Structure 1
Amino acid sequence: MPITLRIAGIAGNLGRPFRTRTLVDRGTARAAARFSAIATDHDLSDLQPARGAAPPLEDLDGLPRTIIKQILSAHALVVGSPVYKGCYTGLFKHLFDLIDPAALAGKPVLLIATGGGVKHALVIEHQLRPFLGFFETVSLPTRIYASGADFSEIRLRAPRF
């Protein structure tokens, strides 16, 4: 029986609407179509109200616990964060603080970031890639960054994957 691949997307957004989630959704949708996979996407808003109050993973229940299980059981990840003050969000980091580093070892990860200007693109190489490298993930050489200029009020310009 063939295995159905699962791709989990997580966006480090704190509010809605948001650009990072748009890119994560597109990344997981395109990867799912390419590899006949099932994609699930979430953001930090989906983890409310428990998102910042759970020091150990065992303190989570309901949807937040389901989201973590989807991340852990996925065959690949699409991970994105908006950039604030030159860094990914603190609650995004806290989400990963709940995960045993060995649990993500070997998972392919597409890295995504959004920010106000082009200098924020450095967050992918200088922070996200080393951070997820600690978990021994396999960060894809392709990465996606979009600044405010890449978005219009009507639609997002189609990124090249």
Structure 2
Amino acid sequence: MFSDGRNYWEYEGDTKYVTETIMAADAIIIGTPVFQASIPATLKNIFDLLPVNAFRDKVVSIVVTAGTAKHYLMVEQQLKPILAYMKAHIVQTYVFIEEKDFHRKEIINDDIIFRMERLVEDTVLLVEAYSNIRQAKDAEYDF
């Protein structure tokens, strides 16, 4: 369903499931292709379905596939600013996969596999770090 301005919890079916799952997550790994040097409309629609603070206290990682190296600009100039606006803790390093890294729909570049494993590790570490920070901050209060 396309975003029509309602609150995310007012949707039904798959849309309700997707939005509630995102809102309940501690971490999100966004995997997206680059289309026409931009984010796909389906990803933009998901952002539009969510409230502006949807990623507050959430760690967000990024994996992108693209046809050329120049398409990394989509991440830097479009995706990261949207995630920052929506209050995400963004894992600064992301995995960028070019067409040359694939053969018959399989990743053939071992460095890509290594970087994906590292991205997952970094994501988990950041979730744990932010959780510890929040717990320490909450412990400062007497209630």
Q: Same fold (TM over 0.5)?
A: yes
2:73, 2:24 → 1: CA distance?
Answer: 29
**Paired letter, 1:151:** F
SS state at 2:83 partner: helix
The answer to whether the aligner puts 1:105 opposite 2:56 as a matched pair is yes
2:63, 2:105 → 1: CA distance?
Answer: 21
The answer to whether the aligner puts 1:133 opposite 2:84 as a matched pair is yes
> Matches of residues 85-104 of structure 1 in structure 2 within 5 Å?
85-104=36-55
The answer to whether the aligner puts 1:155 opposite 2:132 as a matched pair is no
Shift of 1:73: 0.3
Q: Which residue of 2 aligns with 1:121?
A: 72
**Paired letter, 2:78:** Q
2:14, 2:50 → 1: CA distance?
Answer: 16
Shift of 1:125: 1.4
Shift of 1:67: 1.5
| 1:82 paired residue among 33, 42, 46 | 33
Q: Is the alpha carbon distance of 1:140 and 1:131 closer, same or farther for their aligned partners in structure 2, counting shifts above 3 Å?
A: same
**Paired letter, 2:87:** E
| 1:61 paired residue among 5, 9, 12 | 12
Q: TM-score, normalised on structure 1?
A: 0.62
**Paired letter, 1:137:** A
Considering fraction of residues, name the structure with more strand.
Answer: 1
Considering fraction of residues, name the structure with more helix.
Answer: 2
> Matches of residues 30-49 of structure 1 in structure 2 within 5 Å?
none
Shift of 1:159: 4.3
- Stretches of structure 1 lacking an aligned partner (at least 5 in a row): 1-49
Q: Which residue of 1 aligns with 2:97?
A: 146
- Stretches of structure 2 lacking an aligned partner (at least 5 in a row): 119-143
1:155, 1:102 → 2: CA distance?
Answer: 36
Q: Deviations along 1:31-71, whole A, 9 cap, x unmatched?
A: xxxxxxxxxxxxxxxxxxx2x3x412355312221121111
Q: TM-score, normalised on structure 2?
A: 0.69
Q: CA RMSD in A?
A: 1.7
